[in-house]
Structure formats: C-alpha cells, structure tokens
A and B are shown apart, each in its own frame.
Chain A
Amino acid sequence: MSDFPFLLLMIAVPAVGAAVVAALPRGRDLLAKQISLGVSLVVLLLAVLATVAFDAGGDRFQLTSSVSWIEDFGVSFALGVDGIALVMLLLIGVLVPVVIGASWDDEPVGTRSMTVFFAWILLLEALMVGVFAATDVFLFYVFFEAMLVPMYFLIGSFGGPRRQYAAVKFFLYSLVGGLIMLAAVIGLYVVSANQGEGSFAFEVLNAIDIDPDVQKLLFLGFFVAFAIKAPLVPFHTWLPDAGAEAPVGGAVLLVGVLDKVGTFGFLRYCLPLFPDASRDFAPYVLALAVAGVLYAALLAMGQSDMKRLVSYTSVAHFGFIALGIFVFTTEAATGAVLYMVNHGLATGLLFLVVGMLIARGGSRRISDYGGVAAQAPVLAGVFLVAGLASLALPGTNSFVSEFLVLVGSYPSRPVFTIVATVGIILAALYVLLMYQRTMHGPARGLMGGHDLATPDGGEPAGPAGDTGGATATATVTAAPATARRVPDLSRREIAVASPLVALIIVLGVYPQPLIDLIEPAVAATISDVGGDPGGAEPQADTDAARTEAGN
C-alpha cells in the first residue's frame, strides 16, 4: 500500500482539476463548484489514506517517490513526508473542501467569473501539497514561489476594495523573501558540491557538515523568507492587508496553510541543516517571537476591522509557534507543530464565521454590528467556539498546543515563556472585545434597531442588576422594533462550519493520535539541532541537568 503514489496524486488530482475547471465555459459556475468540491474531497480521502499507510514509528520520510528532473544539477522531483508534513497535508485536505463550501455563494467582483476562482483554489491546493511534500530543496523552492501566483490572483481579483494594493504588497514581500532564499538555496548547493557531488536532496544536505560561518549566512537566507511567510514582527505588515482584502476563502488558506510554510520551513530546513546557526540565532528569534505575541495582540485589540483583527491574532499565534520551535525541546516543538494544525482549524473557522457575518451586514467594521447573538444564535455560537479556540480555552484544540509550547519552553527559557504567557490575557481581551461588540448588547448599526448612544458597559435605563426572565424578553422584542432580522446560519453554512467545530473539540479532548504522528519527526529534528530529545524520566534531580541542557 505504501508504494501507492499518494503524494504525487495529491498534487496531480487538484492540478488536473484546476485545469478542467479553468477550461469550463463561462457561466458553468455550478459545475465548476461541483467538480472542485469533488476533487478536494478526493484529496482529503487521499490524505486520510496516506495517514493510514504512514507508520509513525518507521523511517523519517515515508511514501517517498523520486524522479530525476534536472540531472546536471542533481535536482529531482522527490516527494516524501515525515509526521510534520503529513499533518499539514491532512490540514490542507480538511480546509480546502470547507473553503470551497464556504465560497459556494460568493459573487464575483466585476466581470470576473467564479469558475476562475475555484480553478485558482485547486491549483493552490496542488502547490501547497507540493511545498510540504517536497524533499528536494530546489523543488521546495519552486513550489514555494509558484504558490504565490494563485494566491496573488485570489487576492487581487476576488478581494475587497483595496485588493490590488494588498495583492501587490503580499507579492512584493514574498518576492523579496523568495529571492533571498533562492540565494541561500544556491549557496547550499555550492557547499554540497564542494564536499562531493552537488545535491538538493534534503537527506544528503542534512548529512553534510557546514562551516558555522557559512551556516549563519545560509540560515539568514532561509530565515528571512520564512519569517516573512509566517510573519514574525517586524516582517508582518503585509498580512493584515492581505488577510483583510482577500476573499474569505482565500484568507482561510492564506493564514491557515500558506503561512505555515514559514514555520514548517524553520523546522524542516533551518534547524536540521544549520544547527549551529540555529542555536546562535535562537535568542534573537525568540525575542522577535515573544515580542510578536504581545505586540500583535495589542494591535489586534486596536483594530476596527474584523478581518484585520483576525490577521493580527494570527501574527500573535505565529509568535507562539516560533517560540515552540526555537527553544529546541521535544515538548515545545511538538506543541508548535500541533499549533500549526490547530491554528489552521481555529483561525480558519474564525475567518469563516467573520465572513458569514460580513456577508449579512456588508461591512467589515466591528462598530457596524451589535446584538447579533439575539437574532442569530447559531452564528453567535459558532463565533464563540472559534473565538474560544483562538484564545486557547481548555477543551478546544488550541489549548493543547499552546500549553505544550509554553510548558516545553519554560525549562530552558523561563523568561521568554513568562512574557509569552502574559499573552493569554491579551488573547482573551481581543477575542471577547470583538465578541461583545458584535454579538452582545442591543441590536445596533447594520443589524437594525436604534443606534443607542449607550457605549459598551454603560448602564441601560432601568434598574441595574438582574432583570429576571420576563423583562429580558421584553427588551428583546421591544428594542429592535425597526430591526432588520439577521438570518441565522443557512444549512450550507452549518455544513461548512460543523467539521471545523467538531475537530476543534475532538482534538481538544483527545489530541494524542496527532501527537503520536508528530513526535518522532519532531524528535529527529530536535536531535539534529542538538536539543533535548525528550524522554527524560520525571524525577527531581534531573532539573539541574535540564536547565543546563536548555541553556
């Protein structure tokens, strides 16, 4: 079964699907959607079957296949996954059908055709699979850059009012990062060529020793590209624009999957290939990561645009992920990988539900909403689940990953961990502020009703305190006399949101199967970089050794 070309098919099926959908005549939107959904479900099935075929305790890379591509330079179309890449493929498999379902009723901007939109989504899926499945550094680079094209058009053609500015900015940042990485990729080849036969194969490169000074340069080349992609402060300013202007489906894939290529890159390339440089630069990266946790959270609180707010929360979350990666412990890095998956689900859902709200009100401004919970309780409930997952409430998937990152970071980097832990207060603030302003209170703004002068927290007329059932009902029915009824979630929207809600809760209660997949790959990575491979027996007298090992 493991000889079955899962990975190749996961790239080929959506790529062919994209071509078919793109070739459909204009106006065949429904057919385009049906084909896209079918294709994406096939990819999901393949991802699940690949997971079944994967042996967590086996070789580092599995389901491998390799076809020589540019023989002169040792480039091959080599695919393979470790546990880390595999869970990312699962995430892609889940998110793409959800995104297609969520974009089902989207109206195209101007004269564009929605068939094109779905074609770009499928092409993006193929390329995203490729970037995680590539085991050849050059192939990785090709996918890394090619991935930008569909996303560029998704933002630039189907986005909000400032879509062109956002798309250009997104592209420019990625371009700069990509070019710097390209230089490093070439450098890596040169180094390998100097030590024998030049190669781009990850396992060959991982085996060679690189001079520490050269490592530093190459590390920086990769690091900058990845730090832009999974934006770490101060490389983050493209994300709020891109996240806000992208169509909701595009934003989910952008923040949910595309940006994870950055943190994935840290783990796959920076740590194993440049272990000395990784250790040298770790304190600086950690400082950026932790600064980002607080800085982006504060910025999220200050946003008036819901999609920008969610984008900033992601920057804060990427700070947690980077923290987990650069402390070099198995617990924290396992947490970081789990975080990459969980963040995709949680923030994906948050973007989707914000999009559903925007579809009803026609505005991204928080202040245009109020009291939605009374009129659309299911929407409010899904919003709350997404928000709680975003603030990592126990019982949701994000708690497990955030807890692992922090608990695994503390032994070696207590100060950074303490500062990052303060971020959990800020996370509660930005989520609950947005939730209260849009969902609670009397019906307001676009939701109809009187635009009450009472600011948030003001006392309403009448007695303070408990109003009892009867009067509370009276206020519901009395206030929005002029209210436009906000329709609650449609069946399609519920069908789109429920898989994510279910995964958020299931993975919050029983995360161990995913951890079992991730941990061996993480342990291999951590041992590459010379960190704590984990498995120390819990006893008191190892604490001194632990602290030393971490420092």
Chain B
Amino acid sequence: MDTVPADGLLSASWLLIALPLAGAAVLLLGGRRTDRWGHLLGTATVAIAFVIALACAFSLDDRQVAVHLFTFIDTGSLEVDAGLLFDPLSAVFALLITGVGALIHVYSIGYMAHDPRRRRFFAYLNLFVAAMLLLVLGDNYVALYVGWEGVGLASYLLIAFWHERPAAATAAKKAFIMNRVGDVGLALAIFVMFAQLGTVTYEGVFGSVGLLAGGTVTAIGLLLLLGACGKSGQFPLQAWLPDAMEGPTPVSALIHAATMVTAGVYLIARSAPIYDLTETARTVVLVVGAVTLMIGAIAGCAYDDIKKVLAYSTVSQIGYMFLAVGLGPVGYAAAIAHLLTHGFFKAGLFLGAGSVMHAMDDQVDMRRFGGLARKLPITFVTFGLGYLALIGFPFLSGYWTKDAIIEAALDRGGVSGWVLGGVAVLGAGLTAFYMTRLMLMTFFGRARWAPSAPGRPAPHPHESPSVMTVPMVVLSVGSVAAGFLLVQVFPLDEWLAPVFGEPHEAEHVIAPAVVATVVTAVMVLGVLAAWLFVGRREVPVVAPERVSVVTRAARKALYADAINESLFMRPGQWLTRALVWVDNRGVDGAVNGLAAGLGGSSSRLGRAQTGFVRTYAMGMLGGAVLVAGALLAVTAG
C-alpha cells in the first residue's frame, strides 16, 4: 500500500515525541524549582500523548501516513530525513507505549514519593517514552537507530538510578555494553542497505530489496537479528536483562517488560519484507526464539528473587514472540498480539511485585515472603489475574495469544514444526511451574518475614496507596480482556493487514481445539508440579545447598555470565593490560630510543629542557639552510 502525506491531526503526530521530550528537558534543566510539580508534568505529557495517539489511530483508516519534519543528513548520495511513518503497526506500538507508559507514570508518583530524586526519575521516564516513540514512529532505519540507542540511554540512566549501589551501576553498564554489541549488527545492516540500495528509508529499502542477491538479504536479516537480540535480551545477548532489575520497579515494568525489550520484535516485524525473502535468516530467528524461551523458562524456575523470576519470564515470553516472527507471514500478527497482551500482564505483574516490595521493606527474596494474600488483597487479586493471563489460563489474555503462536509453530508441519511446537508447549508448562511457584512463595503459606537489615524492624505489610493500586487494577483488566478483544472482537491481524498483508486461514496440522486442550493440560501439569514441590511443603528460608546439577545450572541461568566472562571479559582485560605494557615499553620505547639516538643519550632527553631547545634551534637552522640551498639551486638552475 502506498504511503500518503499526513493530513489533519496526523500531521501533528510529531507531538507524540515532542511532548515527553519537552517534559524531560524542562525537568532536567529546571532543577529543583520543578521538584514540587515535576512528577505531575512528567505524567501529563505522557497522558496527553496517549490521547493524541488514540485520536491519530482513529483517524488512520487503514492508511500509511508519512510526516516529513526536516532533513537530518543530506550529503553525497545519502539522504536521511527526520520523518515519521504512522501506520497500523506503529499506531499499535504508540498506543502501548503511551498507554502503559501513562499508567506506570501514575504508579511511580506513589512508588517514588519518598525519593529525593523523584523529579529526575520522571525526566528519565519521559526521555525514555520520547525515544521509544521515535523508534517505532521513524520512517527510516536511521531514525529507528537514533530511537534505539536513545532508549538504551534511558535504560542505562534508569537502571543506574540508585547509582550509589555498585550493583546498580554495574548492571546499567552491562546493559548498555551488551546492547551496543547488538547495535553493531543494526549499524552494519544499515551500511549494507545504503551500499546496496542507496537508501535507508523503509519505503525505499522494501521497494528494492527484491533486486538483491539472496546472500545479501540474508546478511541484512542476520545483522538486524543481532541488533534485535541485544535490545530484546535474546540468546546469546540475554544476560543483561535480569541484572537490569536493579533499577526501580516501575522501570522494570515499563522498559524491561512492556516496551523497550520488545523493540527487537518490532524491528523484525517492521522488516518483514526483508525476512520474507530469506528463509535462512527466518530459521535463525526461529532457533533464537526457541532457545531463548527455554533458557528463560528454565532459569525462571530456580531464582528466589521475585523480580529476577519475572525478568527471566520476560526473556522467555519474548522468545515466544521471536519464534512467532521467525515463522514469517503467519506469525507477525500473532507476535504483535502476544507482545501487546504481554505488555499488559507483565507490566501489571511488575507493578504488583513493586507493591509487594513496598510492603516488605524493599525485600525481593521470595523465601522471606509468604502469606501476603490477606495483607495485600488488591495486589493479590490484580497480580493473580496477571499470573493467570501469563500461564495461559483459558480465556484470559495469554491463552489467546500464546496459543496462537503454538498453533502457528505446529502448523509449520514436518520435523521443525513438531520440534518448535513441542518446545513452545514445554515452555508453557515451565511457565506455569515457575509462576505458580512464585505465587505460592509470595502470597500463600506461612509468613516468613524478617527484617530487611540487622537492626531494622520486621516488615508490617500494608496495601499500597491508591495511586499505585489503580494502575494495577487497570492493567489487570487488560490482562483479562486484551487477548479476547484482540483475537476475537477487533482482530489484530485485520488491523495490521495493511502492513503484513491479509490474514489467511492456515491449514492446521492439528485441530486448534486439540492444541488448546493439550496446552491447557500441560499448563495444569505445571501448576500441579509447583504445588507438589513448593506448595505442599514448608519453604526453607535459605535456599538448599544440596541440589541437583540441573537446579544448580538453572540458578546460574545456564552459566551465561560465566561464559561471557571467560570468553570476553577476562581475555579482554588481559589484552588491555598487555597492550598498555606494549605501548609504554614497546612503541614508546622504540621511539624514545630513536630520539635518543638522534639527540644523544636518552637520559638527556628526560631531564634537559635547555639541551633540547638547542637541538630544536639546530634543527631549525639546518632546515633553513636546506631551504635556502634548495631554493638557490632551483633558481640558479
């Protein structure tokens, strides 16, 4: 479908980005003067952006609308515009980002109420929203890249928000660096596009990518995938995401669950015309998705830190989305649908976890929770609904959107269909296990509360204020209803048809009813297993030491950090040290030696400034004589 110039309200869609950006600027430059109302301003910009996004989406009418702002870079044959593309896909993301974003801003008013740096927190959140909107609204890969690294910066600032804590500072740096590894892939993909196609706009690239050799398209696909893996915490770049939980919990909900980490899925879905041409790259996307969904699910079973369990759950769920986009045209809409419902229920779960921590003196160890259901009734109910939605309880959100992915995987047919489908079903069982374990350890059983630090009183759990619970309630409604709405009432695949093409009825290898039954049965097995291993017994307040090899590996997230450290970090440190030695002794030494040979002894070079000036004067004199001589020779000759 052709893109048309923006008209009416849509030509003001740049306000979506400008508003939160202005909010961030006012809060950062305004200093303490804005302390009193900074959080309100920060929330208002995002809320207004949501209203604008809603109005824009309603006036879209199945079109793809372009908004030209200004020329960013124009030199040689490279032209990069600051231009926006508002189409059904970017509309869906704009709504998710501003909608969930506004709720989390509201929640943060309460969550960060006692933090002396609350204003700055809202400034960074606003910055994030602006960058994320640029990422999804840009009409070319460079604009996407600018937003892409912009959200990386916001993520860095927010993970390190409590930067006095070394763990937070280190986690932030790790996130940024691992993202940069992915960014190299994205950057190289852009270079290849420019070299081969002479353009970096979506329209230009998608229009001519078909003329390229297959190998080149595959290379572009794989490079984009590398970028996607970094941002979305997918194998092999998944290790930063759980560490990112060092950031304040609203950050984990907004950035590291609902929006930023799904940018990789957006990138691949947006680049569908490229992936449609390369079976190889799609297969790699599938494998990455399948591997990551298992890694996340396995690690999620072993952690005791409530936020880390949710983080590995995010890793795993994004694995499902990668699996879906890897399936090609049948999976794009399914991936986006799961992305949206996941945005609701995972954001809700994180906000619930924040509410629990709020009640428990900021502790995160689930072995020190227990019996919180009665103390925190609203949190329990909203969290419980999110839990049911995530594990795929029939007719809640996850049920609709996760099943669609599993079905699509099985429909692939052949061995790969069975393997991928099997992995996806097994992952559903593990999801049910680790989430049930989390529920049991947190809300049920005996209270195992203890002081957060020696000398502090034991926590007295209390429900959070309504400024925090209202967003949780809204998100839990989304967790319950979004899947049904997006699959049955307002089918998302039809809304996205202008981008991904008309949905067509798939030929099912296995009847959907059978799939749904099997998935539900596996889910119930997972719940039962958790009940058997966790719910029936007393939860030890200290994690047992004598555990199986599998548990030990799962507790270490399958040794991802250890591998990174021994493969990259330590060799890198050795290399750095060796090079510093070489540069000081070798390169510099050789030059110093040479200089000494010219000027006398090396010790004289070190101490004798006066001697040196003489040398220089001699040099100048020699030079002048040389010039004079040469010039005379030329004029004479």
Do these two chains really belong together in a complex?
Answer: yes
| Chain A residues in the interface with B (C-beta under 8 A) | 72-73, 145, 156, 164-165, 167-169, 171-173, 175-176, 178-179, 182-183, 186, 189-190, 193, 198, 233-234, 236-237, 295, 298-299, 301-303, 329-331, 334-335, 371, 373-374, 381, 388, 393-395, 399-400, 403-404, 406-408, 410-411, 414, 417-418, 421-422, 424-425, 428-429, 432-433, 436, 439-442, 454, 456-473, 475-476, 479, 510-512, 515, 519, 523, 532, 534-543, 546-547
Q: Which residues of B105-144 have CB atoms within 8 Å of chain A's CB atoms?
A: 111-116, 118, 142
Asked if B153 and A388 make an inter-chain contact with CB atoms under 8 angstroms apart, the answer reads yes
Cβ of B195 and Cβ of A467 under 8 Å apart? no
CA distance A394 to B145 in the complex (A): 8
Decide: B115 and A172 in contact? CB cutoff 8 A.
no
Cα–Cα distance between A454 and B167 once the two chains are bound (Å): 10
Evaluate contact between B177 and A425: CB separation under 8 angstroms.
yes
CB-CB under 8 A from A167, the residues of chain B are 609
Whether a CB of chain A sits under 8 angstroms from the CB of B619 is yes
B246: interface (CB < 8 Å)? yes
With beta carbons under 8 angstroms apart, the residue of B164, B365, B606, B631 that contacts A476 is B164
B167's partner among A394, A425, A464 (CB-CB below 8 A) is A464
Whether B305 sits at the interface, judged by CB under 8 Å, is yes
B: residues with CB less than 8 A from A are 28, 70-79, 111-116, 118, 142, 145-146, 148-150, 153, 156, 160, 162-170, 172-173, 176-177, 180-181, 183-184, 187-188, 190-192, 194-199, 204, 208, 211-212, 245-249, 252, 305, 307-308, 354, 357-358, 361-365, 452-453, 572, 575-577, 579-580, 583, 587-588, 591, 595, 598-599, 605-607, 609, 612, 615-616, 619-620, 622-623, 626-627, 630-631, 634-635
CB distance from B568 to the nearest CB of A (A): 10
Complex-state Cα separation, A463 to B605, whole angstroms: 56
Give A268 to B150 CA distance when docked, in angstroms. Answer: 36
| Chain B residue nearest in CB terms to A301 | B576
Query: When A179-B623, A186-B626 are in contact, do A334 and B76 touch as well, CB less than 8 Å?
Result: yes
CA distance A173 to B588 in the complex (A): 11
- Closest-CB distance, A546 to chain B (whole angstroms): 7
Quote the shortest CB–CB distance from A54 to chain B (angstroms): 18
Q: Tell whether, in the assembled complex, residue B76 and residue A468 are in contact, meaning their CB atoms are under 8 Å apart.
A: no
Tell me whether chain B's interface is mostly helix, strand or loop, or mixed: helix
Q: Which residues from chain B contact A432 at a C-beta distance below 8 Å? A: 156, 173, 176-177
Q: Considering the complex, give the chain B residue whose CB is closest to the CB of A454.
A: B166
Q: Would you call B173 and A433 a contact (CB within 8 A)? A: yes
Contact across chains for B167 and A459 when beta carbons are under 8 A apart: yes
Select from chain B the residue with minimum beta-carbon distance to A371: B164
B452 x A475 contact (CB < 8 A): no
Instruction: Evaluate contact between A189 and B631: CB separation under 8 angstroms.
Output: yes
Q: A411-B195, A428-B180, A469-B114 given as contacts; is B170 within 8 A of A436 (CB)? A: yes
Shortest Cβ gap from A318 to chain B (Å): 15
From residue B134, how far is it (CB to closest CB) to chain A in Å?
9
**Cα A457 to Cα B77 with chains together (Å):** 46
A residues in contact with B170, CB < 8 Å: 436, 456-457
CB-based contact A510/B70 at 8 Å: yes
Interchain CB contact under 8 A, A407 and B362: no
CA distance A164 to B116 in the complex (A): 48
A463 close to B452 (CB less than 8 A): yes
| Chain B: CB-nearest residue to A410 | B191
8 Å CB contact of A186 from B191, B212, B365, B631: B631
The complex places the Cα of A529 from the Cα of B375 at a distance, in Å, of: 77
Would you list the 9 A-B pairs with minimal beta carbon distance, nearest first? A538-B198, A534-B76, A469-B115, A440-B169, A330-B76, A468-B362, A465-B364, A410-B191, A394-B146
Chain A residues within 8 Å of B616, by CB: 171, 175
Contact of B75 among A406, A429, A519 (CB under 8 A): A519
Contact B198 A537 (CB under 8 A): yes
- Report the separation of the CA atoms of residues A429 and B166 in the bound assembly, to the nearest whole angstrom: 17
With known contacts A466-B357, A471-B362, A540-B198, A460–B165 Cβ distance under 8 A: yes
- Contact partner of A175 (CB less than 8 A), chosen from B172, B363, B453, B619, is B619
Q: Quick check: B605 and A512 within 8 Å, CB to CB?
A: no
Interfacial chain A residues near B577, Cβ < 8 Å: 302
Docked CA distance A73–B627 (Å): 11
Check if B609 sits within 8 Å of A429, measured CB to CB.
Answer: no
CB distance from A336 to the nearest CB of B (A): 11
Complex CA–CA separation, A470 to B28 (angstroms) = 22
A393-B609 contact, Cβ under 8 Å, with A183-B626, A424-B180: no
Given contacts A395-B150, A410-B188, A466-B245, 11 further A-B contacts (CB under 8 A): A189-B631, A388-B153, A424-B183, A428-B177, A467-B162, A471-B361, A473-B114, A475-B165, A512-B71, A515-B74, A542-B198
14 A-B pairs within 8 Å (CB atoms) are namely A145-B620, A186-B630, A299-B583, A335-B75, A374-B164, A394-B149, A406-B187, A424-B183, A436-B172, A441-B165, A462-B453, A463-B453, A466-B252, A540-B198
Please give, as numbers and ranges, the residues of chain A lying within 8 Å of B358 by CB-CB distance.
468
B77–A535 CB distance below 8 A: yes
- A72-B635, A410-B195 known; A425 and B162 CB under 8 Å? no
Closest to B577 in A: A302
A407 touches B194 (CB 8 A): yes
Alpha-carbon distance A515/B212, docked complex (angstroms):
31
Contact, CB under 8 Å: A237 / B169: no
Residue of A nearest to B589 (CB): A237
When distances are taken between beta carbons in the complex, the residues of chain B under 8 Å from A178 are 623
Give chain A nearest CB distance to B253 CB in angstroms. 11
Give min CB distance, B77 to chain A, whole Å.
4
A476 to B191, CA, bound (A): 45
Given contacts A179-B619, A462-B452, contact A534 B627 (CB under 8 A): no
User: Which listed residue (A182, A441, A540) contacts B166, Cβ 8 A?
Assistant: A441
Check if A472 sits within 8 Å of B165, measured CB to CB: yes
Which residues of B are found within 8 Å of A394, using beta-carbon distances?
145-146, 148-150
> In the docked arrangement, what's the CA distance between A454 and B357, Å?
25
Residue in contact with B591 in the complex, picked from A237, A303, A458, A475, CB distance below 8 Å? A237
